[in-house]
Amino acid sequence: MYNFSFQNPTKLIFGEGQIAKIATSIPKDEKVLVIYGGGSIKKNGVYEQVSAALAEHSWSEFGGIEPNPGFHTCLNALEHIKANGSTFLLAVGGGSVADATKFIAGAACFDGDPLTILTEGARVHQALPLGVVLTLPATGSESNPNGVVTRYETQDKMPFYSRALYPQFAILDPTVTYSLPNKQVANGIVDAFVHTVEQYLTFPVGADLQDRFAEGILRTLIDHGPKALSEPKNYNVRANVMWSATMALNGLIGLGVPQDWSTHFIGHELTALHGMDHAQTLAVILPAMMAEQREQKREKLLQYGREVWNLEHGTEDERIERAIDETRAFFEALGVSTCLEDYGVTETHIPEIIAALKKHNLTALGEHKDITPEVSEAVLRRCL
């Protein structure tokens, strides 16, 4: 196991009815800005619960954060903060709202052009304090220091990171996920699954506990994911999915192990260039990446097959093939296609995707840094 240090400062408040805890989680003298997306929170009762919890606070609101949040929308929020003197940001929504809120929180305290946080990785040392009311279990953004913001005019989807951007608290009420459309439920399950795989499916370093954590999350998502679609009001199912998604990317399972975020990086280019949902890109690329890297990932693929899919019989190569097939079938059963052409992306688009990877210096990906543009191209060809 590699060396590591770990400190996740986000307080997690889990369960039905917990949105009311906002009242005591934000000091009364803060001027709160509630940030939300396209309006789902005004249809499912979440906005009312947040308003009631903030009854004794001074607060204003900023809506309209789009899925794959846009840089210019974030700049508009900064104007609102200046005009209203907001001192505390409360994100109410999915990963897009949480990510945008983190960017806004950092940009509000940033000395310089906020674009450089995205384009040059300029350091964010300070940020406005923020909290999250999560409405879509998927990204883990509610308790990690990461975000992704898109600059639409240049089709760049760019990640950023700062320890100053950990939310102070995150409220996880599984009942608010009842109103999610099936497509978003499925997207969330795929995203959490792939986050887990990208911290697990590399090569063994003797980190047995992290492996058991990861396998536990994957098995829980396999058990409960399909039920979240067929039994949408099953609290226990929703609770297990929500907790799995948070645990998949709050830092814990990635401690002391090699990681491989190649599927995510290639996926971001597909979203930026072709507008595919984040999880759709992952469902397409992950099985192809497993197949392309099967020799480098051999030991872990066998372990994954055994511990996650109960594959005991057949030759090693047969078990690896089955493990990849099971992964693809799981995504398809959730209704997320694993074929690139189903999203209107064809062979003719591959060169521009590769060019975008090069433009973003994503030319040595994976746990061995051996996923060159040529390998990424081979992966994309497997996705057609």
List residues binding Zn ion (CB under 5 A): 191
CB-nearer residue toward ligand NZQ: 270 or 311: 270
CB-nearer residue toward ligand NZQ: 49 or 86: 49
Q: How far apart are CA 327 and CA 1, in angstroms?
A: 27
Coil vs helix vs strand at 319: helix
CB-nearer residue toward Zn ion: 60 or 259: 259
Alpha-carbon distances, residue 352 vs 155, 267, 338, 355 (angstroms)? 12, 13, 20, 5
Candidates 86, 135, 280, 293; binder of ligand NZQ (CB under 6 A) is: 135
164 binds, among ligand NZQ, Zn ion, none (CB under 5 to 8 A by kind): none
143 binds, among Zn ion, ligand NZQ, none (CB under 5 to 8 A by kind): none
68 touching ligand NZQ, by CB under 6 A: yes
Contact indicator for 21, 132 with CB cutoff of 8 Å: no
Coil vs helix vs strand at 231: coil
The residue type at 335: G
Candidates 177, 196, 262, 327; binder of ligand NZQ (CB under 6 A) is: 177
Q: What is the nearest approach in angstroms of ligand NZQ to the Cβ of residue 28?
A: 27
Candidates 14, 15, 30, 38; binder of ligand NZQ (CB under 6 A) is: 38
CB-nearer residue toward Zn ion: 99 or 191: 191
Q: What is the CA radius of gyration of the chain?
A: 20
In the chain the first and final C-alpha atoms are separated, in Å, by: 37
141 binds, among Zn ion, ligand NZQ, none (CB under 5 to 8 A by kind): ligand NZQ
Q: How far apart are CA 139 and CA 189, in angstroms?
A: 9
DSSP per-residue string spanning 16-70: TTGGGGHHHHS-TTSEEEEEE-SSGGGTSSHHHHHHHHTTTSEEEEE--PPSS-B
The neighbour count for residue 219, using CB atoms within 10 Å, is 15
Residue 194 exposure: Cα atoms within 13 Å on the Cβ side: 29
Candidates 27, 39, 85, 351; binder of ligand NZQ (CB under 6 A) is: 39
Q: Which stretch binds ligand NZQ (CB under 6 A): 71-79, 182-190, 226-234, 317-325?
A: 182-190
CB-nearer residue toward ligand NZQ: 96 or 327: 96
Q: Which stretch binds ligand NZQ (CB under 6 A): 39-47, 112-120, 206-214, 364-372?
A: 39-47
37 touching ligand NZQ, by CB under 6 A: yes
Taken in order 220, 222, 225, 227, is the CA torsion positive or negative?
negative
- Name which of residues 205 to 244 contact ligand NZQ (CB under 6 A): none
94 touching ligand NZQ, by CB under 6 A: yes
- b/e per residue, 322-336, with b = 16+ CB within 10 A? bbbebbbebbeebeb
101 touching ligand NZQ, by CB under 6 A: no
State the residues that interact with ligand NZQ by CB under 6 A.
Answer: 37-41, 44, 67-68, 93-97, 99, 135-136, 138-141, 144, 146-148, 176-177, 179-180, 184, 187-188, 191, 249, 264, 278
